Amino acid sequence: MTPNILIVEAPFYPHISRLLLDGATAALERGGSSFDSVSVTGALEIAPVIHFAVKGGEHGGKSYDGFVALGCVIRGETHHFEIVAGESARALTDLGIHYGLCIGNGILTVDDEQQAIARADRTQRDKGGDAARACLALIEMRHRLGVRR
């Protein structure tokens, strides 16, 4: 079985997003997966788009075996960071638990741009690749445990 993956990317910081996407696509290609990629405005929009994709697949649209969420939230001077970081993670976890979705969370939550680049770059921490590998591992585990979507 060749897993079909949807990457949902929030390119609020385009240079960081490109690094994350590079790592994710490389990992998916190495894993033998097919994939599509869509962009959304920000990290809070990633979970709804994943939900839309699932609903579309249920109604005859393209169906996906898993999802990779990519984005970056950098701490600022307001409490907005905590809201976006917490709510985006909660929404992805809720989708995974309530709908049995395989989602690799590659939304970085960092203090500054240097941390983001270090985590996103494939030659350093490769968090985009990690998110893709987590998605593929969840798909394999779901299959091994005999869970049907």
Report whether 120 contacts 20 (CB < 8 A): yes
Secondary element (H or E) of residue 6? strand 4-9
Strands 66-74 and 103-110: parallel
Tell me which residues are annotated as active site: 80
How many H helices and E strands in the chain?
5, 4
